[in-house]
Structures are given as C-alpha cells and as structure tokens.
Chains A and B, each alone.
Chain A
Amino acid sequence: MIVAEVKPMAEIQDTIKNYSKVLISGCGSCVTVCLSGGAQQVEVLASSLRTAAKSQGQQLEVGEETQLRQCDPMFIEQIRDKAAGYEAILSMGCGAGVQTMAETLGNIPVYPALDTVFFGGADGQGGFVETCAACGQCILSRTGGICPVARCAKSLTDGPCGGAQAGNCEVSKDTRCVWQLIYVRLFRLGQLHLLKETTPPKARRVHPARLNRAE
C-alpha cells in the first residue's frame, strides 16, 4: 500500500490561505489504511481548519468528501458537481490521487494535504514500514523475500556495507541492517549460497512509468 502522512498544519493553511471555500477530499483506499487520509482524518482536518480560521477572524467554508479511490478518474467524476461549488480542493489522497483529481477536475486547483512517503506494509498498531521501492526488477527471490533496495539505506544489492554496528544500520540505531535480516532469513531457508551471487547494477527505470495490462 501507499503510505502517507498529514502535512504540517501550517503548510496546509498556507496553501489555502487565499480561498474562502475549500473542499477536503479523502481517499478510502491506501491512505485510509495508513490512518492519514480517510473519512475520519477529513473530519478532523476540516474541523481544525474551521477553528483556526475562526480564531483568526477569517471566513472559511470547508466541505468534506471521501472517494473510494482517488487515483481513478471515474471516482472523481462522482464529485464533479459538488467540487464546482468550491474555489479549491485539498486532497487527502496520495500524490497519485492529487494528480488524478487535478487532471480530472481541470479548472479547479487541487492541493495536497498529505506527504506521500513510501510503499510498505503494516507494522503493529499505527505503524508502517517501507518494504518495496517499485524498482521494476524484483530480486526478492535471491534475498530471502526481504528487499534491500527499499530497506537498505544505500540500496545495496550485493551484501552489506561495512557500516553496520551490532546488526543495526549505520544511518540509525533503530533500524536493523537489512542484510542482517537477509542473512538470518537465508540461513533459515538453507539458502546462504545465494549471498555469493553478484548482482549487477540495476537498470534504472525511466519515469514516468506506464503499464498496459489490457493487451
């Protein structure tokens, strides 16, 4: 899933400071799951912005809306009429959602309320961890199902650097060196020999990627 977090309030306030009618639009998929941009957060942000505006003596009308998936124009179409009644949209979708919305609505400015941070999985209550980098050339078959591209600070694919201390990554004592994890996993799988293979540098992807699965 895509993981995002709510931007600092001051930044959000700054982006909408010139508007008096704003529609906050949440997304019911990934960003709901990562507790950042679902219906509940929409309510909270809306109320916060109204209260802030009121305390500063400003006029601000805030609408609330949540789509099932903001990254598909068909869902955006459903709110086209409602959106037309606002001067700007504050999207609580991921970056993809913001763009789909901006593209679909065309002549209404759409601003992000979230910072999209990574793709990952759940890590305990309220926790999320980056686990995939969408590199386009998956090597998990050789790394015991643990991705060093996403989870090594240097994306090293040929074994660890010399910086690990007590099994933790050189960039943070709170993060296990991913190669430590890979070693343990491969050991358990009886696949340590895979560590001896050399991985050539990856072919870097060209952005933006496109994919056509219709054919």
Chain B
Amino acid sequence: MSDSAHGIGGLKYDPKKKARPQELNVFIALAIIVVAFEGLGRILYGDSFLFNTRDNVDAIFNWARLNIIILQVSIVGIIALGVTQVIISGGIDLSSGSIVGATAMIVMSFAQTELVNGNPNPKAIFGPWAMDLPVIVPIVVGLCCGLAAGLINGALVAYTRIPPFIATLGMMVSARGLSKWWSNGNPISFPTESYAALGRGMWPVVYFIGLAILFHLILRFTVYGKHTYAIGSNEDAARMSGINVARQKVLIYAIAGMLAAIAAIVLSSKNLTAQAGMGVMYELDAIAMTVIGGVSLAGGRGSIIGTVLGALIFGVIISGFTFLKLDAYYQEMVKGAIIVGAVVLDQWRQSRSSMRS
C-alpha cells in the first residue's frame, strides 16, 4: 500500500494517479454508442444513423435526426441541470417531474387567450382578468412556483433530519396532487401567441444550451459552485470550514426547482397545453442523464458538461431504438438497464478510488 516515500519537504506525487477527466470517458461512451447504432443500421437495414442517405437532400449528416435527438432531450435536460447540482451536493431530487406538472398547470392558467377562433376560450380557468396577460406574467408565476417548491424541498433537507430521498418524494406526490386538483384533471389549453412562441421550433435547445453554459460557469467559477462540491464531498468538513451548509442546500434545491419550472414553461408552450400528467417520470430521466454523465450519486463529483453528454447519450439511445424499429417497451426496459448500469459503474469507480487512498 504505502510504498511511496515521503521526506521532509519532499512529498512525492505519483502523476499516474491523476485520473482521466470523467467527461472524456462519457464522450467516448457517446461515440461508441453512435458507432454501434451506425453499424447495426447498416447491417440490418442498409441505412445510416448519423449520415444523410437521401439524394434529394444536400447534407453530410442526417440533420433531421440530430435535431430531433437534441430537441427530445432539451426539456428534460434543463431539469437535469438542476438535478446535477443537487446530486453533486450529495442529495437527490425526485420531485422535478411533478414540479413540471404542477407548474405547467398553474402557468398555463395565466397564459390563456380570451378568444379562440372568435369564441370564448373553452378551457378558461380564470375570469377575463387573467386572459391575454403579457407573457412576462406566466413566466414570473412559473418561476415563483418552482422557487416555492424548491425552497420547501431545500428547507426540509437542510433544517430537518428528513433524508433528501424522502423529502423530495413527499414533494413529488404533493405536487402531482396539486396538478390534478388545479383544474379537476382537465387540460388547460389555448395560450396566447407570445406564450406559444416561447417553446416553438428549436427554442428549447437554445434554452438548454444557454442554461447549461450558465450553470457550467457558475459551478466552475463561483463560490456557490465550490461550496456545492464541498458539501457533497465532505459535509462535515464543509461545516467545520464555516460554510453555511443549510443555506447552501436551500439555494441548491431552489435553483433545481426553478429549472424544473423553466422546463414546465417550455414544455407547456411547445405542446400548447398543460395536463395533470405532464412530466411524469421526468425526474428519473433527469437523474439517469446525470448519472450517465458521470455525476456520482455519492456526491462531490460530476459536472454540467458530463450531464449534457449524458443527456445526448440518453437521446441517442432513444432515437437509435426508433431507428432500429425496436418496440417502445424495449426502450423502457433498456432505459432502466442503462440507469442501473450507470449506478453500478459509479459505485465501482468509488470503491476503486477509495482503495487508492
């Protein structure tokens, strides 16, 4: 074990112990998966996964597919950005999918238009006062919903002994209940034109990338980021170093809640409707993206870049299964297997790194 010698003022350092950046491994995994689908596609169907095979389109890549992949993962990806921070801090957030549902219902109630084809909005929730409001109103309402849910999560985790798993499980059930109660299970539809424009086309991708860059910078370069890693790495050390661990946790969960709310706004705008069942299972997809991206469930390790790559792997796998014309049931099963596999890999990494020290 301790074959390395240490002298006064001459502590030895073994450069071989420096691990390869986690993100590189994730990127390699992404490349391997893409190549695998490419190979299978060519063998089974004589079709390409990645490249354009149509003569009437002038492009090297199959942009249609690539766009769908990234569009598919963008909304859950936004949630995953928050989940990443929660998991790095040593917590877990099971409530994000339900926060999406509840926020979408509430937001949509403030984003409705008065007249649909000249008739009163058949899905109207509130009276005329809440019709055709400026788009900033539903946005602010949505952010407040996410903030409130996140603050409750954070306060429960930080100031009680309830483990994050249980606290956010409670929020998961309650927020889903709220979204069902809000309109007695009826969908809420017909948003204003300006609200509908928010999630149109490739905008979700733009938001995802923009937020990813923002939170990458925040985690990497700010005190908030450093303390998030410190708490996940060694909470006692963080506390003894004078970090206000409770306040930091509240902040982390609040940000995660707001990111879930942003996802809710984008999703309801994109779909032009909100339903009580919106965002079901999104929390698991977000956790999966995060873990696939190399964020350790034990805390202290991972990055936004990893999570973005994890989201891409997630999207590629789903799109690849469609491409290979596999049944949706298989997709679910394989998704489950991938999550478990990522967690096993994470645990193996941990035991290996603790053996080294």
Indicate, yes or no, whether A interacts with B. Answer: no
Q: Interface residues, chain B, CB within 8 Å of chain A?
A: none
